[in-house]
């Protein structure tokens, strides 16, 4: 039998494509390529759960270090929670392994830049980073988003401390009712230096779990009882 008469499953698509403009064909190809890339990305995997704190991890194709996501519901108000998160000087009280946290610049009531040093066990060197926190609230849903990308060269690097040059955190705070907030926190980071990826990934859930346990305690401190922020509506 002649191959020209043999049915091919792509033949109908070829006929359709032949009638389309080159620009539309390229757009369709780009769409299906991106869809394939997105579908190939692994989903978040629940790694640990304790006292309603869920910690997930996932990998991204551009990093050997696992990203983390934390989900929980806190009994608090938006104003109180955001006040704690932006109270940089108290970060060592609740953020895991934080040796110091210093406000560098208050850009506006809802935007700041801070420096932090993170303790690591010997023989590894401590890490430090400069983060730029930007807080916004949707006026309709009242959902608060806090972005925290790094700013690498805002202050010079320090001797014997490895600068974390690639890191980005994100908070999404969604009101459930007036006194309960659903929290979603994600973090992608590259610790830099010589920390093996397998070692980092082995303990990647320890810090978030302990931090959020301590955050619950931090929220009960009396200094936050009358917390009010002009850019937050409860």
Give yes or no for residue 34 having a pLDDT over 60: no
Give yes or no for residue 149 having a pLDDT over 70: yes
For residues 217-223, give the mean pLDDT.
Answer: 97
Give yes or no for residue 3 having a pLDDT over 80: no
Average confidence score pLDDT of the chain: 87
pLDDT band at 4 (very low <50, low <70, confident <90, very high): very low
For residues 35-39, give the mean pLDDT.
Answer: 44
CATH class of 45-224: alpha beta
What pLDDT, on a 0 to 100 scale, did the predictor assign at position 37? 44
For residues 148-158, give the mean pLDDT.
Answer: 94
Least confident of 27-36, 111-120, 160-169: 27-36
The residue ranges of every structural domain in the chain are 3-40, 45-224
Instruction: Kindly report the pTM of this predicted structure.
Output: 0.81
For residues 59-83, give the mean pLDDT.
Answer: 96
> pLDDT tens for residues 109-122?
999 999 999 999 88
Per DSSP, the residues of the chain read: --GGGS--TTHHHHHHHHTS-HHHHHHHHHHHHHHHHHHHSPPPEEEEEETTEEEEEE--TT-SSPEEEEEEEEES-HHHHHHHHH-GGGHHHHSTTEEEEEEEEEEETTEEEEEEEE---TTSPPEEEEEEEEEEE-TTT--EEEEEEB-TTSS---TT-EE--EEEEEEEEEEEETTEEEEEEEEEEE--TT--HHHHHHSTTHHHHHHHHHHHHHTTSGGGTT---TT---
What pLDDT, on a 0 to 100 scale, did the predictor assign at position 29? 47
Give yes or no for residue 22 having a pLDDT over 70: no
Percent of the chain at pLDDT exceeding 70: 82
């Amino acid at each position: 039998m002649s191959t020209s008469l043999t049915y091919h499953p792509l033949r109908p698509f070829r006929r359709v494509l032949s009638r389309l403009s080159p620009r539309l064909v390229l757009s369709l190809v780009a769409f299906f390529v991106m869809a394939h890339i997105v579908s190939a990305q692994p989903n978040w995997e629940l790694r640990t759960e304790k006292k309603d704190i869920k910690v997930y991890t996932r990998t991204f194709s551009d990093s050997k270090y696992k990203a983390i996501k934390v989900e929980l519901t806190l009994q608090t108000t938006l104003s109180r929670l955001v006040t704690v998160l932006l109270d940089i000087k108290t970060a060592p009280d609740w953020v895991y392994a934080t040796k110091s946290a210093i406000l560098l610049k208050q850009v506006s009531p809802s935007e700041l830049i801070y420096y932090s040093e993170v303790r690591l066990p010997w023989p590894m060197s401590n890490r430090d980073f400069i983060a730029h926190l930007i807080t916004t609230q949707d006026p309709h849903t009242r959902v608060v988003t806090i972005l925290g990308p790094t700013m690498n060269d805002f202050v010079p690097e320090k001797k014997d401390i490895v600068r974390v040059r690639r890191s980005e955190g994100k908070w999404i705070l969604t009101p459930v009712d007036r006194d309960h907030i659903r929290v979603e926190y994600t973090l992608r980071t590259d610790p830099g230096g010589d920390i093996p990826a397998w070692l980092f990934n082995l303990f990647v859930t320890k810090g978030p779990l302990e931090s959020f346990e301590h955050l619950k305690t931090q929220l009960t401190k009396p200094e936050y009882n009358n917390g009010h922020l002009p850019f937050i509506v409860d």
